[in-house]
Amino acid sequence: MQSDISATSCVYSFSTTSELTSSQEQVDSSIVADLATSECCDMETMLNVLLNYCRDLPPPPNTASITSTPQLLSTEKYPDGLPGASSEGTARPSAATPQYHGSPDPNSAGNPSGPATQPSENPTDPPTQPDLLQPCLQGALEHCKNAELQGFLDEFKKGKDKARYVPLANALNCGLSLSSTMQVPEIRGPSELKPLFVVSDPDWFHWRSGVQRNPELALLSLSAVRQLYDKPHGDWNSLSKTDLDLPEEAKFEWPDALAPVEVKWNESPIQSERPKEYSTCLVPISHLSVDDERKDSTGDTSSNTTPASTTTSSSIPSSRRVQSPLSMGSSDNLAPESIPSSHSGRSLAKVSGQATNSKLWLWWYDPQGAIQTTGIDFIQNLPHLLVLLFALQRLTLVDWGFNPELDPSIALRHLPTKTDGKQKKSSKKNPSTPRIEPMSAEVDVNKELKIRYDVPMLDLLHDPFCLSGRSTKSFEVTDASDVKASDAKASPKRYVAKLYWPYMSRFKEEDLIKAARGVADDLGNHLPLVIGSRDIDPMGTFRIRQELGLKPTTSSSRALRMIIFERLIPITDLQGDKFLIASLCSVAQRSERCFGVLNDWDLSFWAGHGEFEADLTATIPYVAINLLYAWQEDSKSDRKYYFELESFFWCMILTFLAVKDRKLQPTPAVAGWLTGDISQSVKDRSDYLRRPRRFHVYEAWTAYRDMGFEISEWIHDRTLDLERKKGLDDDLVLLRCFLEMVSRKVADLEMPTSPKVEGLYCNSRSWFDVSN
């Protein structure tokens, strides 16, 4: 059984435009590679952390400088028959109160904000967590010999294949029912989510185009069960003991699932026997490995964004998410099936569990990587299973990683609400549309800026698949604070919001852009306009590792940030020579004039502001081949300027071979480039460099075929030089050679005159400054 407790996001949406990792096969290999470098902790330590999330504490004082606009929808109590009293006020605020940390004017020239705005090297330690596990285990002991529970477990052990699904779901629901009656000092009662397990097989969970999973069981909220199974008045007791059939017109969506459950085994019957007397003692089972052997930790890291790239599948992330896909496994090795929700409506941090027969492991996934616990035999150590269910039952929407501020529509799925006519069922509803109809969300970015967008989202501008890394999500927003927006005849200003997980110690993007404006007078038109910024979760992935005693550092931990930019036009909207000219300057353009704008600063380095981050992630199809070789040996290998130049080359070549009608439509010959597998990427792109003339460009780019061949041969020679340990020319010479090859093609066009590069000379054209 696998419990995926994930810290994720809650504007559940996926981009059909992020084609680099759009298929299940492309994702699985990178996820397995990320799991290989998991950190390890003790099972009981993880359980104690989860229990501390359930403490009945008064809300913290409101010290935020920004008001959270969207609030949880009003709720009412249902006579659902769930044993045990429901706790009040379960929508507990996250541990980190959102505050605005952006520069007052990030677009003006001058020095960046001072040290006070930078992340602290030593964040304040949270108070020591009390030991809540032992009182909970003592409380669970009296329920372990419950006849109904033991009967379900016996039926589960003796069953075969799918015949085990129903008794397993019944056993887990029985455990939830028993644990709901447990009262432990300092811990609140069951949350209003009132979760229960259902048999979801053979139905599929859908969300993003091309991504679906078929978990055997799922943990859903009571409200989600009522909606999905058309049981609006069903109580918890009756629904938890019924083998429900999903109506033909209904379908599961990933945001519906608190925890997908994978069920596999290799014993029939299962050999584990319950002890004569249960105790709170635990004999831990060793950690899982990527291979069939068990060991505490393993090999190299890789991902579809390298060397450790993000997320999984939701859209707007929250700092902590308990999204548990419980999984009954048939083997002791790690497999993509172990984390089905990583492709779901979840995203950034999750704990999941994996089990072989009756053995259970828990995982925590977030943008920093995976954390694995030791395992337990949940039949022999039944008190620990009951404590896990006890904790899951008390987690709130915020604890599960949903962010009601960023996505207020999530409450319509999971919280009991009064019918207000906004979400009435329609028998004519298109089955391809989300069950929850779109609604508007408004979020305060700072005191002056409020943004508006529709949720749930299914189509982001940028939303790559991955398990760890920056997990950048980009989506369109409008300015809700614009006074003209209230005028029905006026169109509100349109911006682009970016949510991402940079390192905590990394400088703020808006500060770097502000400083760059003061470097040269002609840079302004090539820098993005920052509208506002906000730290959503400054503590981010540091918190869970600190709570688990893993001694995290700010240089490796990640924080969730939001930044709002002007809306630019992708350079793929340009055709022909205009594309080349814009590409030479950057990656996007402004609509009023064709200024290339450098719109992605994730890989930037700012001298004197933090350590050089040699292990910054990058998308594998665009990474220089020799850098991929180096990363396989050392993820912190030094990045040469040439590597960035070669990355630009791969962006350009992939455009010629894969962009048609402004969309990424790779030809069969290059489809294999779009992979998270480092070895496969090196093999396929090296084959291109050896024989570039075998590859056919799309018709729109045929005029640049010969230029592409010439640059490809040049890159091939540089690649061989690096493999043979030969030195390369200095950076200006490399750039000059590259630009001369390009400029020969665009000789009849007016080349850009800025930004100037001091010391650069181009034979065919003086469109770069020659200062020496």
Q: Between 166 and 87, where is the model more confident?
A: 166
Spell out the residues 6+ positions from residue 337 whose beta carbon is closer than 8 angstroms to its own.
262, 264, 327, 329
Nearest to 529 by CA among 493, 495, 565, 497: 565
- What pLDDT sits at residue 651? 87
Give the CB-side neighbour count of residue 449, counting CA atoms within 13 A. Answer: 23
Supply the pLDDT for residue 167: 92
Q: How far is CA 565 from CA 232, 329, 510, in A?
A: 43, 45, 10
Q: Are 15 and 445 in contact (CB under 8 A)?
A: no
Say whether pLDDT at 718 is over 50.
Answer: yes
Q: CA dist 305 to 193, 465, 646, Å? A: 35, 9, 17
**Spatial distance between the Cα atoms of 207 and 255, rounded to a whole number of angstroms:** 8
632 compared with 217, residue with greater pLDDT: 217
Mean pLDDT within 598-619: 65
- Per the model's pLDDT, the better-predicted residue between 102 and 418 turns out to be 418
For residue 17, the model assigns a pLDDT of 27
Q: Are residues 18 and 463 in contact, defined by beta-carbon separation less than 8 angstroms?
A: yes
Per-residue pLDDT tens for 8-36?
Answer: 222 222 222 233 344 445 455 566 666 77
- Mean pLDDT over the full length of the chain: 73
* Stronger pLDDT, 152 or 5, i.e. the higher one: 152
Q: For the residues 545-557, what does the mean pLDDT come to?
A: 89
Residue of 322, 334, 342, 314 lying closest to 215 (CA atoms): 342
Identify the band that residue 72 occupies on the pLDDT scale cut at 50, 70 and 90.
very low
CA dist 514 and 97 (Å) reads 26
- Per the structure block, which two tokens stand in for 329? 């496994």
Q: Residue 144 pLDDT > 90, yes or no?
A: yes
Band of the pLDDT at 309, cuts 50, 70, 90? very low
Distances (CA, A) of 110 to 49, 518, 608: 44, 5, 16
Q: Region 724-742: what's the mean pLDDT?
A: 88
Specify the pLDDT at position 462: 72
pLDDT at 23 (0 to 100) = 47
- 654 vs 610, which has greater pLDDT? 654
Q: How far apart are CA 416 and CA 31, in angstroms?
A: 35
pLDDT for res 614: 54
Q: Give the pLDDT band of residue 47 (cuts 50, 70, 90).
A: very high
Q: Sign of dihedral through CA atoms 34, 39, 40, 46?
A: negative
Instruction: Please check the confidence at residue 562 and state whether its pLDDT lies above 50.
Output: yes
Higher pLDDT, 563 or 595: 563
The mean per-residue pLDDT over the stretch 412-440 comes to: 64
> In this model, does residue 681 exceed pLDDT 70?
yes
Rg, Å, the chain Cα set: 27
121 — pLDDT class (breaks 50, 70, 90)? very low
| Mean pLDDT (whole number) for 422-450 | 72
Q: Residue 204: which residues within 8 A CB-CB, separation 6 or more?
A: 212, 213, 214, 251, 252
Residue 714 has pLDDT above 60, yes or no: yes
Please say whether the beta carbons of 350 and 322 come within 8 A.
Answer: yes
Q: Which range is most confident: 400-414, 416-430, 464-478?
A: 400-414
The pair phi, psi for residue 544, each rounded to 5°, is -65, -35
Query: Between 671 and 381, where is the model more confident?
Result: 381
- Would you say residue 662 has pLDDT above 80? no
Q: What pLDDT score does 678 carry? A: 80
What confidence score (pLDDT) does residue 574 get? Answer: 54
Comparison of pLDDT for 768 and 539, the residue scoring more: 539
Kindly report the three-state secondary structure assignment for every residue of 349-402. CEEEEEEECCEEEEEEEECCEEEEECEEECCCCHHHHHHHHHHHHHCCCCCCCC
Q: Nearest CA to 201 among 245, 257, 256?
A: 245
Max mean pLDDT range (207-216, 348-357, 458-467, 559-568): 559-568
Taking the CB of residue 154, how many other CB atoms lie within 10 A of it?
A: 16
Q: Is pLDDT of 81 > 50?
A: no
C-alpha distances (whole Å) from 720 to each of 545, 713, 717 are: 42, 11, 5
**Helix (H) or strand (E) segment spanning residue 442:** strand 439-444
Output the CA–CA distances (angstroms, integers) from residue 389 to 153, 437, 717, in the order listed: 15, 32, 60
Average pLDDT over residues 755-762: 69
Q: Confirm if 362 and 40 have CB atoms less than 8 A apart.
A: no
Question: Range with the lowest mean pLDDT among 177-181, 291-295, 550-554, 560-564?
Answer: 291-295
Three-state SS across 230-267?
A: CCCCCCHHHHHCCCCCCCCCCCEEHHHEEEEEEECCCC
pLDDT surpassing 90 at residue 150: yes
CB burial of residue 405 (10 Å; 0-12, 13-18, 19+): buried
What's the confidence (pLDDT) of residue 672? 82
Model confidence pLDDT, tens digit, residues 320-335: 444 333 434 333 444 4
Least confident of 138-147, 249-258, 682-691: 249-258
Res 772: pLDDT: 32
**Which residue do the tokens 């169109």 mark?**
491
Phi then psi for 11, rounded to 5 degrees?
-90, 90
The pLDDT confidence band at residue 436, using thresholds 50, 70 and 90, is: confident
In the predicted model, is pLDDT for residue 120 greater than 70? no
Which residues lie closer than 8 Å to 542 by C-beta, 6 or more apart? 123, 504, 552, 554, 557, 559
Pairwise CA distance, residues 685 & 719, whole Å: 11
Q: What pLDDT score was predicted for residue 611?
A: 64
What percentage of the chain has pLDDT greater than the value 70?
A: 64
Region label for 150, one of left (φ > 0), alpha (ψ between -120 and 50) or beta (otherwise)? alpha
